[in-house]
Amino acid sequence: MQISSGFRSAAFAAVAIAGMGFASVAHADSGTIRFAIYKAAFFIGGAGGEGTLTFHGRRYPISIGAVSGGLAFGVSKTYFQGTVRNIRRAKDVTGVYGAAGGGGAIGKGAQVIIMTNDKGAKLELTGRQVGLQVNADLSGMSISLR
């Protein structure tokens, strides 16, 4: 049975395109991230903090800014740590991340967050919170390299 050259060319092109897609995912890497963020809210909240991204053995200082709106009140400090995935260079972690969530703490509490930015960087974070904070809100967080 003979395969036409047109079919063979189309099949080769499809395999090549699929291979490029897998190659770009294969070259993406991950790093670790740690930061502390202070949050104050009374329906509308603001937050800020700083921390460190560790990527390929180097440490990069980062700044965090955040806003939230919804049912939120209180003051807290949260220490986050986790992994940032699907990055090729340190600056891929920069950008705006959005989330909807809820939680609360009186004294101490815990948080788990998974967010993605517009470059495809995915944050998988766990945090421990200290303070009085209750929230059921929409929030956005911005990360920048310092």
Average pLDDT along the chain: 78
Report the DSSP pairing between strands 95-116 and 29-55.
unpaired
Sequence-separated (6 or more) residues with CB below 8 Å from residue 25: 86
- Residue 98's pLDDT is 73
Q: Which domains does the chain have, with CATH numbers?
A: 29-145 (2.40.128)
- Residue 7's pLDDT is 46
> How far is Cα 27 from Cα 13, in angstroms, rounded to an integer?
21
> How far is Cα 38 from Cα 51, in angstroms, rounded to an integer?
12
Q: How many CB atoms lie within 10 A of CB 75?
A: 14
The predicted model scores a pTM of 0.71
Percentage of residues of the chain with pLDDT beyond 70? 66
- Residue 20's pLDDT is 46
Q: List the single range of 33-47, 75-89, 93-107, 125-139 with lowest mean pLDDT.
A: 93-107
- Residue 92's pLDDT is 96
pLDDT at 47 over 50: yes
Q: How many CB atoms lie within 10 A of CB 84?
A: 24
What digits encode the pLDDT tens for the residues 58-73? 999 999 998 876 667 7
Maximum C-alpha span of the chain:
75
Q: How many CB atoms lie within 10 A of CB 96?
A: 13
What digits encode the pLDDT tens for the residues 8-30? 554 454 444 544 444 444 568 99
Mean of pLDDT values over 64-87: 85
